Structure 1
Amino acid sequence: MLPSACNSRRIAQSMASRRAGTAGRHPRRRGDPGPYRRAGPETRRLDGSPRRRHGPGRERAPPPPAAGHRRLDPRDRAPLAPPWPDLAIATGRRAVPYLRALKRRSGGRCFTVFLKDPRIGAGIADLLWVPAHDRLRGENVVATLTPPHGITPDRLAAARARPDPRLAALAPPRAAVLVGGDSRHGAFAAAEQDRLLAGLDRLAGEARLMITASRRTPGRLRAALAGLAARHGGFFWDGSGDNPYLGMLALADAVVVTSDSANMVGEAVAAGAPVLLFEVPGTYIRLRPFFAALRRHGAVHAFPGRLEALPHKPLDCTPAIAQAVATAYRRHRDAIARPDRR
């Protein structure tokens, strides 16, 4: 089945479910409150129906040295068997040899897509997506300002229509607070934790806070956030019950987000509320052009510690990415069906 305008969104949702680790792993399960959970790799037909599982779960992926990009280590191989998927989407350098194996073993029929820069060139897949702040470019490279994700207008509308009771109990205005934490690029220093907490304490005087943290959030900050929510009659997700992430974005009159995760910021700017960016010193230097572009677009503003009537322009590049995949896939299938037109 060929992609069409009506199923580009299905491709987008598939892309959102494969953003981190090997193909099929939950997108950046950073302990952030992402709304999707996946048990392992899976392929789907382009009509959205399950086909069969392929490839390894993350625990079976090979290590990422250069040799691993070229071929599968026999010790780490997992079953790759027909029927081959029409479309395979992967991310993370550990997935590169598996994506190449799918392409080779399917006789070139499987259309392969890789998300983010593999750091070994654009030849590893039929189509690559990279964020615009990355340098990789090429005829088969799609670059957009924000990353693909599953925060769609329809899902937000559904979450508003049937709100999470824990969030609906909070009187508006409400502010969603998305807090990351330490990364290999820098630690969330105590002084910055205190600065964030002071700003949120001021904001809590104007809005009910709906707070979620990451597995990377320092324990001291996590405890302080929970105490802040309790003290001001807000909500802090402690990991119990259903994941409230989508509902938080849907009900938010403003979104406060820390600067350590491009994915988290990309989802926030699609939600339709003003996004207040708390910039942490030591944030990955390559994200600075990303934030500057978002500011020029009017999608993010500095976090002032209060609600303001700020202009905001929702920004979501996922449909454009999905359409690029659909268009390239259609060309690929057409070339297979008519070899003389290659």
Structure 2
Amino acid sequence: MALSSETSGLSNILEADAKHISKMARETFEKEGPLLVVASGRDTISVASSIKRLAPENVFVVQEQIPWFLRRWITPCESPGKNVVLTVGALHQADSAALRSAASAWHDELAPVPKPLLVVNVGGPTKNCLYGADLANHLAARLQNVLWSCGTVRISFSRRTPEKVSDILVREFTSNPKVFIWDGKGSNPHMGHLAWADAFVITADSVSMLSEACTTGKPVYVVGAERCTWKFSDFQKSLQDRGAVRPFTGKEDVSISLFWPKKKKKMRTGDSTTVNVPQSSAVPKGKATLVTVAKQKGGWKRGVAIFDFILRLGAIVAALAAASTMGTSDETLPFFTQFFQFQASYDDLPTFQFFVIAMGIVGGYLVLSLPFSIVSIVRPHAIGPRLLLLILDTVALTLNTSAAAAAAAIVYLAHNGNSNTNWLAICQQFGDFCQKVSGAVVASFVSVVVFMFLILLSALAIRKL
């Protein structure tokens, strides 16, 4: 595959130009073979798909990461084909070959240390996984409780680690002969730790470090998982359900955890499995966990989705009742003159005509939204249908409110009139007509209130997903 920027001309491509890249792939195909195109994230999907469409026989496209707002909607529970790889964790380079190489490179430094070796990786807080000095204090206390069962403890911080967090751990363990704290100078020992560690303690914010540690097949303990929200919470739950990680409580015996039993579960096609990882004699042999996406329980989210469906049925009744009631409002007085017959009908006023059309559209939309509400019941963790309903419900609420408010103003004049403009209160004569249009307006405002609840429910479900 053509990977050289000097021979393929990639250095001349300042932006992702699909036509330029596909043309270059066709021109270099005979000499260098297919061009490897690696795209990551939602912003690259359109470019990568365009390159594949323009040069289908000349490129090999790898697309990483499904957009977060479609992830739960379109990701199947089982791989649809050999060309699709479903993973729970992040992609990384810590495979068996990399671990063998790291074991050799770090042999002189890590092989002689007393065992078992417990590696502690501390990341940094994120907006969906918040923590601070309180978590550092808890971590320090729990590490003190398990030190007796460890031969060596090595602590590493990331670039995101707040100084107040690292200072607490440094102050607590800097004088302990069992504990080594990497100060960020010299070679990064991360790969060596992955190869030589007997167990890991990792903060919940770092998806990458957890994914790498789980690949080694060694015991992995997590700190702060209960503080995570949104997809970070789902990630932690997925790892725990598969037996890949456990919460770090400070009651562990690290020497016994070397024989950590795997959690038993009923296997099915596409579910988690294990693969033997060949390793050098310097590293204890183990198994690496291969994790894939599994169906999650609905919990309270399914209850919210069911309530959403029921509210939509009520809104359909209210919207269609408002439209039909207004559309059939017509009254003719029993007396007339030689030249005039006194009659009132909704189509005499453009505002009422707009009301009928608008409420008909709103009712039709609500009917069409029912399948998406059902999808949210079946797949309560799916964020795509929720996001779509939230946007469309907001548009429908705007239309519904404008129609209801305009009609309410006319109904008010019909009941009370306006002496300044000499508008008479016609409801004194057309009582039945006014009663029907008033009922239609009330029904439309009921629909408005239901829409508000629907939008709040969708926003709540998306916020907690």
TM (norm. structure 2) is 0.46
For 1:307, which of 233, 253, 256 is the aligned residue? 253
> What is the CA–CA distance in structure 1 between the aligned matches of 2:108 and 2:15, rounded to whole Å?
40
For structure 2, the residue ranges without an aligned partner over 5 or more in a row are 263-286, 294-465
| AA in 2 matched with 1:219 | E
The structural deviation recorded for 1:248 is 0.5
Alpha-carbon distance in 2 for matches of 1:97, 1:215:
33
CA distance in 2, matches of 1:230, 1:239: 15
- Equivalent of 1:296, from 232, 236, 241? 241
Aligned residue identity for 2:169: L
Matched letter for residue 211 of structure 1: I
Q: Give 1:106 shift.
A: 3.8
Change (3 A) 1:163 1:187: same
Which residue number in structure 2 is paired with residue 137 of structure 1? 75
For the 8 Å contact 2:239–2:245, the answer to whether it is kept is yes
Deviation per CA, 1:315-334: give whole Å up to 9, x if none.
4439x99xxxxxxxxxxxxx
How far residue 312 of structure 1 moved from its aligned partner, in angstroms, is 4.7
Task: State the 1:247 CA deviation.
Answer: 0.8
Q: Does 1:200 align with 2:143?
A: yes
Matches within 5 A, 1:216-235: 216-233=160-177, 234-235=179-180
Separation (CA, whole Å) in 2 of partners of 1:203 and 1:237: 20
**What is the deviation of 1:108?**
5.8
The question of whether the paired residues in 2 share the 8 Å contact of 1:164 and 1:244 is answered with no
SS of corresponding position for 2:124: coil
Which of 39, 62, 70 is matched with 1:113 structurally?
62
Contact 1:275 1:301 in 2 (8 A): yes
% same residue? 27
Residue 286 of structure 1 pairs with residue 231 of structure 2: yes
- Against the structure 1 CA distance between its residues 289 and 50, is the aligned structure 2 distance closer, same or farther, given a 3 Å change threshold? farther
Partner Cα distance (1:214, 1:222) in 2 = 10
CA 1:253–1:282: 2 relative to 1, 3 Å: same
Q: Is 1:213 the equivalent of 2:162?
A: no
What is the number of residues matched between the two proteins?
251
AA aligned opposite 1:255? F
Q: Are residues 111 and 282 of structure 1, via their aligned partners in 2, closer, same or farther at CA, if it must alter by over 3 Å?
A: same
Distance 1:173 1:249, change over 3 A: same
Offset of 1:303 from its aligned partner? 0.8
Q: Is 1:274 the counterpart of 2:274 in the alignment?
A: no
Relative distance call for 1:146 and 1:159 in structure 2 (3 A) is same
Cα deviation, 1:31-65, whole Å, max 9, x if unaligned, reads: xxxxxxxxxxxx649xxx997574799xx779xxx
Greater helix proportion: 2
**Would the aligned equivalents of 1:180 and 1:260 in 2 still touch at CA under 8 Å?**
yes
1:74-153 aligned within 5 A: 81-82=24-25, 83=28, 86-96=35-45, 98-100=47-49, 102-103=51-52, 106=55, 109-119=58-68, 134-137=72-75, 139=80, 141-153=84-96
Distance 1:263 1:220, change over 3 A: same
Offset of residue 94 of structure 1:
4.1
- What's the counterpart of residue 317 of structure 1? 290
State yes or no: 1:255 paired with 2:228: no
**1:189 counterpart = 2:132:** yes
Unaligned runs of 5+ in 1: 2-42, 63-70, 122-129, 322-342
> Which residue type is aligned with residue 218 of structure 1?
P
Q: Which amino acid aligns with 1:147?
A: A
| Distance 1:239-1:295 versus aligned 2 partners, 3 A rule | same
Displacement after TM superposition at 1:81 (Å): 4.6
Deviation at 1:165, TM superposition (A): 4.0
1:292-329 Cα shifts (integer Å, max 9, x gaps): 332233221221224342325544439x99xxxxxxxx
Letter in structure 1 aligned against 2:198: D
Tell me if the contact between 1:255 and 1:275 (Cα under 8 Å) persists in the aligned partners.
yes
Q: Which has the higher contact order (CA 8 A, sep 6+)?
A: 1
